[in-house]
Structure 1
C-alpha cells in the first residue's frame, strides 16, 4: 500500500525512465514458505471486484498479503485527482510504515476481480517483525521505502495552496516534513486548479495557506494541531489506559528511551508538541555520531529511531503538548494533562522535553518570526536563501552545521558569535570546515541588535553591534537564522515537586537536596518514578550521542522502579 506515485500502465509497469528506485526492496515478492510462516499472525479476508481494501484518510486495518487476485493502488487528493500508482498481485503485500500503528491510509487499494488476502492487524504485524527476524527485516525495509517514496512524490497527503515563500506555507511544510508526512504544494500564480480554488474560497491574506485534505475538506491557515487532527495523524483516546512509562519529548533521548523500553516489553507512550527529532532533527549532517563515518542527517537519524519505536509497539502522539504533571499518584499512576483536554496516565514518567533555541533580545524580532527569522535550517528554508546574503546567530554545533549547509545555497553567510571564538562550544571538525568555507564570514564578539523591513511581510535588513567597540553596522539580509543558546522546556513541571536548577533544567541523582538520604539512580529526579534524560537534564553533555546513551541507560532504572526483573537495556 503506497508507492512512489509514478503512473503505471494497465499491466502495472512504470513508464520508461520512471521505474521505482530499489523496486525489488520496495515491492518484494514473498515465497509460499514465507507466506505459510505468516499465516499464524493474520486472518483470511476476501474482497469482491471493485471493493476497497483501504481508503485514503481512513485508518488502515493492517498489512494485506495477497493470496490470489490483484489490487490496484491509486493516489487521490482533495481536488478530485486520481492517479494510478501500481498494481500488486499474489505474493505481494500492501502496507507502509503507518500501518505499524494503525494510522490512516495514504492511498486507496481496490480489488480488481475477486481477491483473497491474509490480513495482519498492526499489533500482530509488530509481533511478526520481531518473531521472524529475516522476513521481518525485508518487510520493515519495504514499509520504510514506501513511505519515503510517497514523500518524494508528494503523494497521499494534503494539498497546500499558497505562495511558496509565504510564512504559512513554510510553517506547514516544515511541520509535515519533520513528521515524515507526504504533501504537495500548488502555487495559485502558476497552477490552474489552485487558482480556481482561490476564486471559490476568496481567502484574505491571513487565510494563507489553504490546506485541502484527501476528503476535500478545506482548512484556512490551520494550526499544526488542527491540521494533524484533520489528517488523522493523532490517534485515538488514551484516557482509559495506564502505561508503564510516559515519555515527554520525542528527540533523540526520548526516542532512545522508547525503543529500549518498548523492546523490553514495557508499555510506552511518547508525546511531543511539534515533531520527532527535536533540535537534532535540525542538523543537516551529524558526522561525529558513532557508526556513521560519512555522517547522517539529523532528520534521517530521528526517522529511523521513530520507525524503530513503532516497530516495538510504542504509542507516539504528535503534535500533543503536555500542560502539566500531577505527581499525587492517587491511583498508583502519574497524570499528564494534554493540551487537547485528555489525560495520560503512567506508572513512571521520563522527562525528555529538551530545550528550545533562545529568543535573543533583538528589536522587532517578533515582527519577523516566520517572515525572514527562522529557528530551523532545512531544505525548505534553504530554497529561500538562493544567492542571497544571510545571517546566522550562534556558536554551537547546531549553528555550525546550519552554516555549512546554508553556505551551499546562499551567496554569503554572516555568522554572528557573541564570544571570541568557537573552540569552547563547537566540535573541531566543524570549526575546520567553517574556516575552509570561503562564503562563511565569522563575526566574533558581535550581537544582532535590530531588524528592519516591512512589518508583517518580510525582513529586509539586519543591524549588529561590536561588543568590544560598540560600533554598529548593517547589511541587506532577508533571512536570519537563530541558534543562540537554549532554554529548557520545563514549564509543564511547575508545581509537581520536580527540582529544577537556576537555569530551569531538571536536577537528577544526588544533585537534588530532596534526594538526600534515599538511594537514587543518576537519572532520577526529586520525585520517585520521574526521570530526566537528554538536554533537559541539568549537567547533561548536550550532544546527540549523550542523549541517546541516557535514553538507553534510564530503562534499567525504570525496570527497578516498576519492580520488573527483566534484563536492563544494553
Structure 2
C-alpha cells in the first residue's frame, strides 16, 4: 500500500489521484486527513498483515505534524519509505527531518508535473522497498516471551497442527512493533494476530484453533463412527472408515499425530527406507483422511460418553454433544509426570514433555538433558544433538536394549556429543525465570551431580487418557482399556454385556465401543501396530453395524 496524509482536503485528493494514476494497478492508495487517523489506519493494516511501501505526510498539520507522525509510523512499519511534503519555507525543517528522524525524502508542493517531480522519487523509493520488503503478509503472527509456558503452548499447538506462523519476542523491536500495531498490553501475552486482522490476547486453544481456520465443532448430529484421538491409530481408523463409506468424524483434543507426531525421525516404519518425521507422516495421514471425507474436529476434548441403546452420545469440551452408531477409542497415552523437585514450575520454561521441536533453535550451543530410555527419547537425543553442544540421555534402567530399537542404539553410540547415563534419574531442576541446571542421581553410586542445562525433555512412562469413560468400560489397574478375549473369563462375559456373542477382538465391555492403539491394554507400542489396529477396528465396526 501507499499511504498519504494531509489535513488539506484538496492537497490530499491531488496526491492520492496522482499516485493512483501511476501505481493504482499494483498498489492500494490509502488516504488520511490527520496524523492520528493515519496511525489508526496503519495499525489496522498491520493487524491484517498488509504491507506499506511508501508513506507521504504533510509537514504542517495540526495536532501532530508530519515529522512526529513519520517518527511514530516508523515504529509500526520500519521498512516503509517515508516522504515529507513541505512548502519552500519549510525546506530547512525537511532537511533536519532527513538527518534526525530518518525521513527518506522530501517533496516541495506543488509537485507539478508529477512525471518530473513526483514519480521519479516514488519509483526510486518503491525500488528500495522492494529490495528489502516487509515480512510476507498472510501469516499468523505470535508475540510472546521465550521463557513463557503459555507462549510455548501456543507455538507448539500451531506447529503440531501444521499452521504456518511467525514468532516474535516481545522484548525485541519487531515484537514490540507488533504489540503496538495490535494495541495490546505487553503484560498480557502471548498475543496472536491472524491474517484477517483479528487480535487474540492469551487465547485458549479452542479459540485459537477456530481463529486459524481449524474446525472446532461438528457439522452433524449423528455419525456412523466417531474416532476419539488423532494419533496413528485414530488416523488409520479415519482413513479406512471414510474410504469405506462410513460417515466419519475424528475428534482430537490437541493436535493430530499424538506422540508419534512429535517424533523427529521414524526410521522403522514400513515403506520409508530413509525414515520420515512424525510431523510429515501425520500431515500425509491427515490429508489422506480429509480427502476421503473424514471430518476432523480440533482442540476439543471428549469429556463424557453415554450409551443409550445402540447409540453412543459423546460430550465435547464446550458442552456440545454428538451421537455415533459406533465409537473407536484411540486416545493414546500421555507421558507420566516427572516428580523431580522444581520441575513442575519450569514446564514450558526449559522443561518439556515430548520432543518440542519448536525449541530446537534455542538449544543451539546448549546442554540438553533427555529423560527416558524408549524410542521416543532416543529419537529426541539424536535430533537435539544436531543443535545442542551436548546431550545427556538419562536412563533409569541399566541399559537401552530393554526398551529401545537396536538401530537407534547404534545411532546414539556413533554420536560423540550424546552421553548415555544409565541407572540415572533427574532429581531436581533449578532456575528462576527458566531452567538453569539439573541434578542427576546415579543409583549405583548414590552420588548426585548438578550440571548446567538449558532444556530438559521428558519421555517417561505412559498414562492412558481414560478418566472420562463411564465405569462400565472395564480397565486394568493402570487405566488401559481391556478388549476382546481379555474380557472373557471362564466363559463369563463382562458384567452388563447383553449380546449373545463374545466381544470382538478390539471391542471393549461396551458393545460398539472399539479400542485401538496405545490406550488398549497389552497393545504393542509401535506406530505400525497402532495404524493396523485402527484399520482393524473399522473392519469390526462394519461387522458390528451390520448386526446391530
Equivalent residues in 2 for 1:282-361, closer than 5 Å: 282-329=262-309, 332-361=310-339
| Residues 1:538 and 2:538 are matched in the alignment | no
| Residues 1:529 and 2:505 are matched in the alignment | no
- Structure 1: gaps of 5 or more residues: 1-49, 51-75, 85-152, 566-570
For 1:45-69, what per-residue CA distance to the aligned partner results, in whole angstroms no more than 9, with x for missing partners? xxxxx9xxxxxxxxxxxxxxxxxxx
Equivalent residues in 2 for 1:398-477, closer than 5 Å: 398-454=376-432, 457-477=433-453
Report the counterpart of residue 195 of structure 1 in structure 2: 177
Q: CA deviation at 1:196?
A: 5.8
Which stretches of structure 1, 4 residues or longer, exceed 6 Å deviation after superposition? none
- Structure 2: gaps of 5 or more residues: 1-24, 26-44, 54-134, 495-499
Report the counterpart of residue 50 of structure 2 in structure 1: 81
| Residues 1:158 and 2:158 are matched in the alignment | no
Cα distance, 1:392–1:365 mapped onto 2, change above 3 Å: same
Equivalent residues in 2 for 1:50-449, closer than 5 Å: 78-82=47-51, 156-164=138-146, 166-192=148-174, 194-195=176-177, 197-198=179-180, 201=183, 203-205=185-187, 207-238=188-219, 240-329=220-309, 332-449=310-427
Q: CA deviation at 1:193?
A: 7.3
TM-score, structure 1 length as denominator?
0.69
SS in 2 for 1:404: helix
Cα distance, 1:263–1:191 mapped onto 2, change above 3 Å: same
Once residues 199 and 265 of structure 1 are traced to their aligned partners in structure 2, the CA distance between those partners, rounded to angstroms, is: 48
Whether the aligned pair in 1 keeps the contact of 2:341 and 2:428 (CA below 8 Å) is yes
Q: CA deviation at 1:159?
A: 1.5
Cα distance, 1:353–1:155 mapped onto 2, change above 3 Å: farther
Cα distance, 1:80–1:488 mapped onto 2, change above 3 Å: closer
Once residues 167 and 527 of structure 2 are traced to their aligned partners in structure 1, the CA distance between those partners, rounded to angstroms, is: 32
CA RMSD of aligned residues (A): 2.4
Q: CA deviation at 1:467?
A: 1.9
Q: CA deviation at 1:199?
A: 8.1
Structure with max Cα Rg: 2
Q: CA deviation at 1:200?
A: 6.7
Once residues 136 and 434 of structure 2 are traced to their aligned partners in structure 1, the CA distance between those partners, rounded to angstroms, is: 28
Once residues 469 and 247 of structure 2 are traced to their aligned partners in structure 1, the CA distance between those partners, rounded to angstroms, is: 23
For 1:404-425, what per-residue CA distance to the aligned partner results, in whole angstroms no more than 9, with x for missing partners? 0001111111111110011110
Once residues 48 and 450 of structure 2 are traced to their aligned partners in structure 1, the CA distance between those partners, rounded to angstroms, is: 46
Cα distance, 1:353–1:415 mapped onto 2, change above 3 Å: same
For 1:361-395, what per-residue CA distance to the aligned partner results, in whole angstroms no more than 9, with x for missing partners? 21122200000101132441111111111111000
